[in-house]
Amino acid sequence: MKSKHPLFAEILQGESKTLEFKATLPKGDQLAKTLIAFANTSGGKLVVGVDDNRQLVGLHNADIFDLQDKIASIVHELCSPNLLPEIYIENINNTELLVIEVSRGALLPYYLKPKGREQGTFIRLGATNRQASVDYIQELERQRLNISFDEQINYNRPLATLDLAPLHARFNQVGKVLNDDKLLNLRLVQREQGQDFPTHGLLILLGQYEHVETKCSRFKGNTMVVFLDKKEYRGDLFYQLEQTELFIKNHLHLKAEILGLQRTETYEIPIPAIREALVNAVLHRDYSNFGRDIKVGIYDDMLNIVSPGGLPNGLTQADLQQGRSEIRNRVLARVFKELGYIEQWGSGIGRIKVMCREVGNAEPKIQERGDFVDWEFYRLERFANAISEPGLNAEKGGSIGGSIGGSIGGSIPDEADLTERQQQVLALIKADSQMPYRKMAECMRINESALKKHLNKLKEAGYIRRIGGTRGYWEVRQ
């Protein structure tokens, strides 16, 4: 039997970051863990009277008042700081359900008293409760104090040892000066007892941490089994963004048309939408986790951008759809706003979707998957048959952040000047220098005649040479 009850609609969607259900009231520590995880993350509801198949089984004539008293006692004895859940009855299709609802807490972190804060802090990842790491507990403390990781001082890196030239260059390009006062106002530097120290934000912007890295891959087909190209970018964040955009452009289809006397070139995914998503990934990733980096994957059917760290500060998937914005890295956000990389807070996701819809693309999807955020842009099949030569070099298009920086900057590897097809041929040769022409053409889904044209271009440019004739092998220039 169907019901229009909003809670029933939630139940039909299954357990999530903010919803868990049980057929019967859980044992004390299990109940407490779930409520603590909700309080430390985005809040949520524990619904009693629903089985694992999402069937409403009710409370089996249990005494409602006894259950409420039991829950209150468990929360008081096992949860610290004190939690004040709402406990109420919902009647759906004449079936009584008990709902225990907890809001995101203000006294983070919450933990199980018997285990203590270090071992007893739990968070919600997807539809599961996980014990929080020491780093995550520190992040919860920062959230309670309303401080972001990138605002904190790094006392181990003397300010005088840092090369600020990349930042000065960016500010100069937009007609602004980055002086000592500006460094302090943007919280790139903090002053204690007359001495200036760099913040994590400054070191992140300069790419001084090992995990401040972007890894880009072009895969064959729609899986991660075979690489066609792979690059890893380090350095300041602006350089990483520009090089990542270049990598993506080199692996997207490009449609060229002559309209009157003008030649127009259109990518299968709008580049401004991609830029916006890349900036979003850089600004909202969790830099306090030193073990992970941003990953960009290009497949035959989509472009995937993965940013470490779940949605910040209790944000939920529903909040995203409503345009709500939460800033995880305030220093980075201030700098990007100052340089014009951000137009309006909270408007980026909406703009990305509009840009894709306007060119006939399927609406891209942004979703939280456990403790990372995932963008999926869908490629257009109709572009595959309308290509003069896919791929661009550094002279094509603008840079990330609108007009900032002109063309894509930095020294560009020689292979970046190749077309997408030429890079694919080169990658296949590197993987198997004796691969037959026929097999190579099949891998690329082109005929042998077209393949040989690409091989000749690579030979003329000096990238490869043939050793040993028909039964020989390809040698790649090092």
Q: What is the pLDDT of residue 450?
A: 84
pTM: 0.75
Ordered structural domains, the chain, with CATH: 6-144 (3.30.950.30), 149-205 (no CATH), 214-412 (3.30.565.60), 418-476 (1.10.10.10)
pLDDT in tens, 94-152: 999 999 999 999 999 999 999 999 999 999 998 999 999 999 999 999 999 999 999 99
Residue 19 predicted with pLDDT over 50? yes
Q: Which residues contact 123 (CB under 8 A, 6 or more apart)?
A: 37, 40, 41, 129, 130, 132, 136
Weakest mean pLDDT among 38-42, 195-199, 325-329: 325-329
Least confident of 11-20, 140-149, 376-385, 392-401: 392-401
* Segment 216-266, tens digit of pLDDT: 999 999 999 898 999 999 999 999 999 999 999 999 998 766 666 676 778
Q: What is the pLDDT of residues 284-316, one digit of tens each?
A: 999 998 888 999 999 999 999 999 998 887 888
> Between 160 and 389, whose confidence is greater?
160
